[in-house]
Amino acid sequence: MKIFLILFTCSFVFTGAAMFRLLHKGAPIEPTRALDPTVFSAPEQIGAAMFRRFYPELNESQVVILASSPALKDYDRIWQGLLALAREKKWPSREIFSQDGLRPIGDATAAKTFADSRSFLRRLKNGQRSIVQISASPADLKDLRHEFPQAMILVQDRYPARFKKLDHTKLTAAAEVDMSKIAYLYVSEPTP
C-alpha cells in the first residue's frame, strides 16, 4: 500500500509539473511541413509550386508579402514563377512593389520601389490586392505578422541544418508554416 501511495504521489507531482510548464512556457511547437523536399529543374517551378500550395491563403489576403533572400542566387526567378502562374490563373492583383536594393519582380509595374517597408505597407489601399517584395530578418517578420495579421507572408531562405541527407547538387526546395502563419520556403541551390 505504501508503494502505491508513493507511486501515486510521484505521478501526481510529475503531471502537475508538466502541466505547469506547458501552461506557463508553452509547448515546443514544430512548424508544419507544407512541401516535402522536392527537386526542381528551374527556380520558376518552385514559385509555381508555392502558388499552388498556398493558393487558398493567397486568395484570402489583400496584401501578399514576399520576403526575398539576396543570399539565394535566383531569388527573383522563384517569385517570377509564382507570379507567372498567378497571371495564368487570372489571380487578381493591383500592383507589384519591390524594396530598394532587390531585383524587381513581375512586369513593368515592378519598377515601383520604396525604401522603408513598414511605412510603405501602412499606406497600401484596402480592397485591392497588392504584392510587396521585401528583404527582412526573422525578427522583422514576427513584427510584420503582428502589425499586418491579414497579410500572407512567404519567406525565402537557405535550407536549415535540420533537413538532413540533402543532395546539394540539385535545385531542391521545401516549405513549412510556423504557428504565426508565416510560410518559409527553403531552397538549396546546386553547388559546382
Q: Where are the domains of the chain?
A: 1-30, 31-188
Cα dihedral 107/104/137/32 (nearest 10): 30
Q: What is the mean pLDDT of residues 156-179?
A: 74
CATH fold for the domain made of 31-188: Rossmann fold (3.40.50)
C-alpha–C-alpha distance, residues 35 and 29, integer Å: 18
Is the pLDDT reported for residue 190 higher than 60? Answer: yes
Percent of the chain with pLDDT over 90: 6
Neighbour order of strands in the sheet with 152-158: 32-40, 171-177, 182-188, 152-158, 63-67, 130-134, 95-99, 113-114
Query: Higher confidence at residue 30 or residue 156?
Result: 156
Spacing of C-alpha 62 from chain mean position: 16
| pLDDT on residue 128 | 64
Is the pLDDT reported for residue 12 higher than 60? Answer: yes
Which residue reads 509564382 in cell numbers? 82
| pLDDT on residue 107 | 60
Tens of pLDDT, residues 85-125: 988 988 877 677 777 778 878 764 444 666 666 666 666 65
Cβ(61)–Cβ(182) under 8 Å?
Answer: no
| pLDDT on residue 187 | 86
Cβ(46)–Cβ(78) under 8 Å?
Answer: yes
Nearest residue to 124 (alpha-carbon basis) of 185, 68, 63? 63
Tens of pLDDT, residues 28-53: 566 787 888 888 999 999 999 999 99
C-alpha–C-alpha distance, residues 154 and 86, integer Å: 15
Is the pLDDT reported for residue 63 higher than 50? Answer: yes
